[in-house]
Amino acid sequence: MFSMVRVTLLSITILFLYSCFAAMSMEFNSARSYARIEDNLEEAEKWALLALEKEPDNAQIPYFLAVEVYRPQKKYDRVGEMYKEALKRNSNLDLEQPFKSGGKVIKTVHGAIRNEAETIYNQGSSYYTKGKKKKAEKSFKMSMELNPNLIDNYLALSDLSYERDNIEGAIDYLDMGSKYDSKNFLIFVKKSIYLKELKEYDKAILTLQNIEINDADIQMTIDYEIFKLNMDKENYANAAALGSGVVENMFNSTSIDDAVLAEACYNVAICNRYLGYEGYNKAVDVINQGIDDKDVLSSTLEDAKSAIDYFKVAKERFYDASSFDPDDQKSANHAKDLNKLIKQLKKLFIPSIEDLLEQ
């Protein structure tokens, strides 16, 4: 008696499914019946695989296989394969049961898979935290395939490549991500850091210059990084010019830490001192060599005067660095040393060059 009732109920349910999904194949309806009523995933898989061929544009079939057949069996590779297969199929198909996620309603099969990509990314992050980096990488790559617009995957895969000393590979992932989000701040910052390690300073500077940002404090930070890159490539003239504006902006900001400001002041001082030494040393050489060429003397005189200006800026910034970092003893000493050089230029070198020009 019980088995007859059970068969009758099963028949009624199958008829109900046929009436609700008349446009779908018998194979797919059978697969769902076996999964949802009989709890027979083996038969459900068999009929769903037949349905895949029967309905080549139906995204619901591979989605069903992923969610209701393979995921309960923890066959995660097959889950991923079916998700990807679903994404190749009709993108307008609705879910049987829409659901909410993160405050938004997910209505379509493709939308559900894109949403699942975030779950897979989070799983990858969990693996990474636990030190399971191969599993993390696998999750990030799967998530990336399911939702190419999820930029976190590119950043995570870039970090993994960098940790393996594959800087070029790290940059490749960032470039892939920038195709989907050309204004992502982190992508550009990370890329500039990697390019700096490769000593490709011009490319690193260009990368930072391409960042579009409306936040004044972030822009100030970017400008400071560009300044330091110019220092790295030993372009001290550009660095000094940029550094002057950066430090002034930092003085006017309430969000800059004193340690960062002290560092910036010190670096700007170093640049200006370097440029000052160029003019100072030229004046020393010309005087010691007894050069009397008027053009050379005139050029040297201008350089000596510029050296004073550079030394004055450097002295001021060294004192600033010392004031923002109480533990910094060397900056004040550097400033005092520059006073001596400025005095030599004013009292000795410049008058000597002027005398030579008048002869």
Model confidence over 132-160: pLDDT tens digits?
A: 999 999 999 999 999 999 999 999 999 99
How many helical (H) and strand (E) elements, i.e. helices and strands, does the chain have? 17, 2
AA identity, residue 57 = D
Helix (H, G, I), strand (E, B) or coil at 32: helix
Helix (H, G, I), strand (E, B) or coil at 97: strand
Q: Which two tokens stand for residue 94?
A: 């609705």
CA-CA distance, 126 to 171, in Å (whole number)? 24
Higher pLDDT, 22 or 76: 76
CA-CA distance, 105 to 116, in Å (whole number)? 13
**Residue 120 contacts residue 101 (beta carbons within 8 Å):** no
Residue 253's region, left for phi above 0, alpha for psi from -120 to 50, else beta, is beta
Q: Is 206 exposed, middle or buried (0-12, 13-18, 19+ CB in 10 A)?
A: middle
Q: How confident is the model at residue 23 (pLDDT cuts 50, 70, 90)?
A: low
- Asked whether the predicted pLDDT for residue 181 surpasses 60, the reply is yes
**Residue 172 contacts residue 144 (beta carbons within 8 Å):** no
The CA distances from residue 5 to 11, 249, 323, in Å, are 10, 81, 89
Percentage of residues of the chain with pLDDT beyond 90:
81
DSSP 67: I
CA-CA distance, 311 to 269, in Å (whole number)? 8
- Asked whether the predicted pLDDT for residue 10 surpasses 80, the reply is no
The CA distances from residue 70 to 78, 79, 110, 131, 184, in Å, are 6, 6, 18, 27, 36
* Mode of pairing for the β-strands spanning 104-108 and 94-101: antiparallel
- 58-93 pLDDT per residue, tens: 999 999 999 999 999 999 889 999 999 999 999 888
Stretch 173-177: mean pLDDT, rounded? 97
Q: Which two tokens stand for residue 37?
A: 């009523």
Model pLDDT, residue 2: 38
